[in-house]
Amino acid sequence: MQCIFCDIVERKEKAEILFEDENIISFLDINPFNVGHSLVIPKTHYENFLDVPNDLFGEIFSVVQQLTKGVVHGLQADGYNILSNNGRAAGQSVFHCHFHIIPRFETDGYKFKMDLKKYGNGEMNLIAEKIKSAILF
Ligand code: 5GP
Ligand code: ZN
């Protein structure tokens, strides 16, 4: 199976690497929303967020936070978006779980706003119940 991020981990594909340890690697996104747009990935190939073992998230989010500090302070960003697209419907294009760190500037003009939906009468409670009954700890 061909995976561009696995190729980066294995150094078969070039990338501007920012950080690496035993389990995680971070590098610049090749097509940035803003310069400095970075990615953090587990080195092991997991297709998306739900496939990643729960006990790896402490480490992953610790790296995401450290990287964000570097991006924000190093580039004097005014803000930042941290996001993960999962599944084609959500815009995932590389099917190896990753987190985007996107530096934002007051003047960059991006708007991530979508059309907001409204809940019908009693629907909020129904939806909450559906979610709660599917949570497994
Ligand atoms: P997704 O669309 O799956 O949320 O994010 C995938 C990201 O990977 C995109 O922002 C895209 O620009 C980036 N990307 C795709 N191929 C490469 C590559 O070969 N090298 C690097 N550094 N980034 C890549
Ligand atoms: Zn992969």
Q: Is the pLDDT of residue 8 over 90?
A: yes
94 within ligand 1 shell (Cβ under 6 A): yes
Residue with CA nearest ligand 1 atom 18: 30
Which band of pLDDT confidence, cut at 50, 70 and 90, is reported for residue 113?
confident
Q: What is the pLDDT of residues 95-112, one digit of tens each?
A: 999 999 999 999 999 887
Which band of pLDDT confidence, cut at 50, 70 and 90, is reported for residue 132?
very high
Q: Is the pLDDT of residue 71 over 80?
A: yes
- pTM assigned to the model: 0.95
Which band of pLDDT confidence, cut at 50, 70 and 90, is reported for residue 72?
very high
Residue 41: both structure tokens together: 């990935």
Average pLDDT over every residue of 78-93: 97
Q: What is the pLDDT of residues 14-69, one digit of tens each?
A: 999 999 999 999 999 999 999 999 999 999 999 999 999 999 999 999 999 999 99
Between the CA of residue 90 and those of 8, 34, 48, 76, 85, what are the distances in Å? 23, 20, 11, 29, 5
pLDDT value, residue 114: 82
The yes-or-no answer on residue 98 being catalytic is yes
pLDDT value, residue 57: 96
H or E segment and range at residue 66: helix 57-75
Q: Is the pLDDT of residue 1 over 90?
A: no
**CATH: 3.30.428.10, 3.40.50.12160, 3.50.50.60, 2.40.160.100. Which one for 4-111?**
3.30.428.10
92 within ligand 1 shell (Cβ under 6 A): yes
Q: Is the dihedral of CA 49, 98, 63, 66 positive or negative?
A: negative
Average pLDDT, the chain: 96
Residue with CA nearest ligand 1 atom 13: 29
In ligand 1, which atom is closest to the CA atom of 16?
22
Domain boundaries, the chain: 4-111
